[in-house]
Amino acid sequence: MDVIESLHSRSDDTTPVPRHVAIIMDGNGRWAKARRLPRIAGHKQGVEAVRRVSKAAREQGVEVLTLYAFSSENWRRPEEEVRDLMGLLRHFLKNELKDLVAENVRLRVIGDYRALSGDLVAMIDDAIAKTSVNTGATLVIALNYGAQAEIVAAARRLASAAQAGEITADAIDEAMFSDALTTHGLPPLDLLIRTSGEQRLSNFLLWQAAYAELLFVDTLWPDFDAAALADALAQFGRRQRRFGGL
């Protein structure tokens, strides 16, 4: 280890393992295309990666893993692909629930998931309810999520509270605003990973990413595994987080 590196790891600000990791799971389509397979085959492998990586994250000590499964912009995809993604989600919820319960994992969903079909909404509500007493890690799935809409909804909620005289406008600060977001109560986002070489946030956790470390990796999401996560966490451990200080 060189001098700079050892100084970094001795800094009090350095979190050895990020408490909260978020992933923009990108590259399913390209994974399939490279194999001359339909896009759905890439998404299926993407679900396998979700299983593998969420288990690995727990084993590697991550408290909260937030996954971008369906953005509010993803409705623009062909109808058939949207239907396939919803089918995979249905399958995932059905199969994964008992493991989440057995492994003491709490499930949370962010985004306007109530706009999904009725049976999915019921399955999601059931999974959230059945895992709400769990005390281990938290798996957060972003469904029909868009960060700008989340921020606008928080602003509206606070404006209504102010209008109703429940709070004063002056009382609104960063902490109150954070509490009005769908991620309220979760630890601050430490590390945001995007797979497949794209370097954009794509309307994901814009407020929450304020001080997060960003990591863009070339691996396509279906190929992401425990070793890739361990590598990402190691890279995080080597970053010097200053939070605006020196």
- Residue 81 among known ligand-binding residues: no
- Work out whether 28 is an interface residue with ligand FPP (CB under 6 A): yes
Which of 14, 15, 60, 74 forms a contact with ligand FPP (CB under 6 A)? 74
Q: How far apart are CA 107 and CA 96, in angstroms?
A: 11
Longest Cα separation, the chain: 60
Say if residue 165 is exposed, middle or buried (CB neighbours under 10 Å; 0-12, 13-18, 19+): exposed
- Work out whether 46 is an interface residue with ligand FPP (CB under 6 A): yes
- Work out whether 216 is an interface residue with ligand FPP (CB under 6 A): no
Q: Which two tokens stand for residue 177?
A: 């605003």
Binding mask 103-142 for ligand FPP (x = CB under 6 A): --------------------------------------x-
DSSP string, 56-125: HHHHTT-SEEEEEEEETTGGGS-HHHHHHHHHHHHHHHHHHHHHHHHTTPEEEEES-GGGS-HHHHHHHH
Q: Which residue is nearest to ligand FPP (CB)?
A: 29
Provide, rounded to whole angstroms, the least separation between the CB of residue 70 and ligand FPP: 6
Q: Which of residues 182-201 bind ligand FPP (CB under 6 A)?
A: 196
Q: Which two tokens stand for residue 51?
A: 């299983």
The footprint of ligand FPP (CB under 6 A) covers 25-30, 43, 46-47, 50, 67, 69, 74, 85, 88-89, 92, 141, 196, 221
Binding residue numbers for Mg(2+):
26, 213
